[in-house]
Structure 1
Amino acid sequence: MSVMTEPKIENRQAQPYMGIRTRVPMQKLDVAIPQGLGEIFAFLGKYGVGPVNAPFVRYHIINMPEMLDIEVGVPVANTLPDEGHIHGGVLPAGRYASLIYTGIDHGIQGNAALLEWGVSQGLVWDRWETKDGDAFGSRLEIFLTNPGEEPDREKWETEVAIRLADTQEG
């Protein structure tokens, strides 16, 4: 069984979401992600709003040895007013390269495979260097499997999607 799909490139529309942005070390992601998503789903439930797509983690700045600047989010039809640390945002439209990996423990492998494929294809990511690490215009891990429906973490499907830095229109 393959743990990854072939990478692909596709155009995506802008997607409103409600999210929580935080800085977290790599080893705390397994706590920060479900906790943040739980808060957002509770917030949406209070307003009777459901997700229009799968929840995600958006990686704003990646510095694996130190801190990650991430945002956990839930796509919605229209953003709601901000409340506490829960705020509205929009995933930017554009051309994205993506692949899907299976098994929660294959995240680093899936991200590396997409990045390596992009280099081999001559793609340019929407990314830049900052003093805190590598910043991305839109780099996502989208959780395609609902853990409430599939408890086996080895069967969870996650999509890695990174926006390309397009220089041409269209």
Structure 2
Amino acid sequence: MPEIIELPERPYVGVRRTITMTQFGLVGDRIGEIIGWLAERGQYPAGAPFFRYDEIDMAADRLVVQAGVPLATPVEGEGDIFADVLPAGRYVAVSHHGHPDQLIGVTDSMLKWAKDQGLTWDMTEKDGTEHWGCRLELYNTNPAEEPDMNNWDTDLQFRLKD
């Protein structure tokens, strides 16, 4: 069952790509690289790596997605690894245990729940593209420790409009 939570601003580093639904590896495969880049600088993740959806156009199969790693303190980016912050605010959150392929259904249920509650997302739509203020999938399971994706734990956090 979704819940509304208040989250502080959270620094992170990440990479951004424009992809299709079948190209998540282009960003997801960079998470290990980002963690290694941080370790070289004496920095370590302060939470689960995530995907942040900036733009979604399902009709055109076009997504602008970030792969990010949260930090306890900000660092400067380098090359295509950039530094940013996840905005503070109220988020609708839900946890999921199971294969990431099931997240489409979990997301649909969460969006319906929020609509039924009369909630408004931090999102604008223009020409069929959704532009999200902060829409996250946080991957709590380390694939090196649990390779069976059916046993993964994922949190969804979608920011509400102020």
| Structures share fold, TM-score greater than 0.5 | yes
Counterpart for residue 33 of structure 2: 39
Please list the CA deviations of residues 114-155 of structure 1 after superposition, one character each: whole Å capped at 9, or x if unmatched: 101100111000100134610110000000111111111001
1:129 corresponds, among 119, 125, 128, to 125
Is 1:163 matched up with 2:159?
A: yes
Aligned length: 160
Counterpart for residue 145 of structure 2: 149
Give the alignment of 1:82-101 within 5 angstroms.
82-101=77-96
Which ranges of 4 or more aligned residues in structure 1 deviate by more than 3 Å? none
1:49 corresponds, among 43, 66, 79, to 43
Give the alignment of 1:4-83 within 5 angstroms.
6-29=1-24, 31-64=25-58, 65-83=60-78
Is 1:140 matched up with 2:136?
A: yes
1:40 is paired with a residue whose SS is helix
Would you say the 8 A contact 1:61–1:132 is kept in 2?
no
Is 1:112 matched up with 2:108?
A: yes
2:23 is paired with a residue whose SS is helix
Please list the CA deviations of residues 58-87 of structure 1 after superposition, one character each: whole Å capped at 9, or x if unmatched: 000011242101111000112222211001
Distance 2:34 2:128 in 1: 27
Structure 1: give runs of 5+ residues left out of the alignment: 1-5
- What is the CA RMSD across the aligned residues, in angstroms? 1.2
Counterpart for residue 3 of structure 1: none
Distance 2:152 2:132 in 1: 25
Structure 2: give runs of 5+ residues left out of the alignment: none
Distance 1:78 1:20 in 2: 18
Would you say the 8 A contact 2:17–2:27 is kept in 1?
no
